[in-house]
Amino acid sequence: MPRDIEILAQKISEAFARELLEMLRSENALLTITRGRVSKHGDYRIPRPNERHRLSINGDLGSNQLLLTFLHELAHLKAFKQYGNNIQGHGIEWKTIFSQILVEWVHKGAFSESVALEVLRYAQNPKASTMSDSRLLEAIQRADGQVDKRKEYLRDLAQGAYFFLNGSYFLKGAKRRTRYVCREISQNKEYLVHELAEVIKITEKL
């Protein structure tokens, strides 16, 4: 079994994994499955001349979040191919395409039953980030078994608090719209972390 199919099949069914990768092949696109990233679940990169479309997905996502992220980035690819680069990243063109894709995959039975209705609701007006939709986010976390009583939302921590996320320690800084500037302690680098990221508060100063 090819590596990409094997990795996806661990999260979703092998049949759905093969279908997704076949869609990418038909669109002349490459998929990269990465380690977990603090600032995003996935991304889409517009191809340079004579290059292929590129999608990346965090490999540590649960099954429903991974599928939703994959379809989110696929919608970017389709919007670019249909409308070119002169559209807003999460504008009406992307919203329309993403909505259609989500409804199609809900009807395929690809999402967990407990998530499907929230996905259909979200599909009526999809936002740039699923983390901006608290109902959908909670449904996905419960279905993917990612609810951890030790964790709390980053937005609920005071500025200057220390927290643990994805194997690293951070210091919470100022807010920028829906994200916070957070400094990773070991490398002293700053990252933008979404306000609804689930983190573990550290009570002792690092």
E-strand ranges in the chain read: 29-34, 42-45, 53-58, 152-153, 162-165, 168-176, 179-184, 189-194, 198-202
Mean pLDDT, the chain, whole residue set:
90
pLDDT in tens, 166-179: 889 999 999 998 89
Name the maximum alpha-carbon separation found in the chain: 52
The dihedral through the CA atoms of 16, 19, 25, 29 has a sign that is negative
Among 100-109, 127-136, 194-203, which is the least confidently predicted range?
127-136
Beta strand 53-58 with 42-45 is antiparallel
Check residue 147 and give its pLDDT: 61
The partner residues of 200 in beta bridges, in order of sequence, read 164
**Residue with token string 């909505």:** 99
**Residue 128: which pLDDT band, with cuts at 50, 70 and 90?**
confident
| Contact partners, residue 164, CB within 8 Å, separation at least 6 | 170, 199, 200, 202
Statement: 152-202 belongs to CATH 3.10.450.50? no
- This prediction's pTM: 0.75
Which of the two residues, 70 and 129, has the higher pLDDT score?
A: 70
pLDDT at residue 14 in the model: 87
What is the mean pLDDT of the segment spanning 7-35? 90
Tokens of 13: 């069914």
